[in-house]
Structure 1
């Protein structure tokens, strides 16, 4: 009977140790949430005409157009806004992934930052970029921000020239 009791006590102590480990891992959740809520990534187009600010979850919080932006034709301005917006959102999402990695990456053996970079590279048809900590400042990031593959007008989900919002698949 004593051996069984010792075994149960050992199992219970092991369970308690795992509970303490989980509590320690999740103790930083509040701090992580606070850091994520403060994420901000501002990117300015290479010519300085467009600045986009993105926050947590890739939410666009500001778009600023310089006086020179009005000299561009509508297609150029639209493309410049979209390219700058994509870079601002991508940077904000990468920052957020880095915060998650700092809080839980080691505990769960995941690399959220790498997963985000890979997903962005696949979505844009580009190579995965280095982590944000190794990237130049956001102003410089915008200078190499143009995706290598540019979809044709009919491939773009935002193409409404034929006045239809429905996809033709």
Structure 2
């Protein structure tokens, strides 16, 4: 009976581990949704007369025109607007792919697919787009900066920086939690 119990405990621990993994993935999806809803792709025309801000899915959030833009002939303004819109939407798509890939794992290769598609669409070298994307990427904070974080708005249940990491497996049946010990003692008493 003890071997059967050990097997049941092991199966239960596997089940708990899978639930923990699902919980972690759901928390990760919430973080991803938050980041996606806040993303913006900003592009400015070469003459700095037109600025466009694109949000998730390429939704246009803002268009700013300077006096210089309004002084242009209609065809020139139209061309500047269209070109700047395309650049902002493309930047938004690259950022979206990067965020999804960061949270769902690099195996999806989304960023590369987006870069290749945009390179063909705009007649540019993929490396040029990759370099532009690196410049757009926010700077990673140093360990020194993170030490002084304000944790008042963070959950005490997760550290927030375990994205993409697998949860450690539960301890072996020999040294589990107090709940595991209780269950084991309960069943051991029934066998006596």
> TM-score, with normalisation over the residues of structure 2?
0.58
- Of the two, which has the highest radius of gyration? 2
Q: Secondary structure of the equivalent of 1:85?
A: helix
Residue in structure 1 matching 2:117, options 113, 116, 119: 119
Q: Indicate the residue corresponding to 1:80 in structure 2.
A: 80
- Aligned in 2, Cα 1:131/1:30: closer, same or farther, shift over 3 Å? farther
Q: Deviations over 1:67-107 (max 9, x none)?
A: 0112322221111111111111111111121111221124x
Residue of structure 1 equivalent to 2:53 = 53
- Looking at structure 2, the residues matched to 8 and 99 of structure 1 have their Cα atoms a distance apart, in angstroms, of 40
Query: For residues 123 and 8 of structure 1, what CA distance do their matches in structure 2 show?
Result: 57
User: Counterpart of 1:42 in 2: which secondary structure?
Assistant: strand
Deviation at 1:15, TM superposition (A): 5.5
Task: Report 1:9-88 matches (<5 A).
Answer: 14=14, 17-88=17-88
Residue 164 of structure 1 is matched in structure 2 by none
After TM superposition, give the deviation of residue 61 of structure 1 in Å: 0.9
What residue ranges of structure 2 are gaps of 5+ in the alignment?
138-192
Give the Cα separation in 2 of the matches to 1:110 and 1:12. 32
How many angstroms does 1:127 deviate by?
2.4
2:154 matched to which residue of 1?
A: none
The alignment covers a number of residue pairs equal to 135
After the TM superposition, which of the residue ranges 127-136 and 93-102 deviates more from structure 2?
A: 127-136
SS at match of 1:51: strand
C-alpha deviation, 1:56, in angstroms: 1.2
**Counterpart contact for 2:94–2:133, Cα < 8 Å:** no
The CA distance in 2 between the partners of 1:132 and 1:9, in whole Å, is 53
Q: Is the 1:91–1:132 Cα contact (8 Å) retained in structure 2?
A: no
Secondary structure of the 1:47 match is: coil
Residue of structure 1 in register with 2:101 after alignment = 101
Gaps spanning 5+ residues in structure 1: where?
138-169
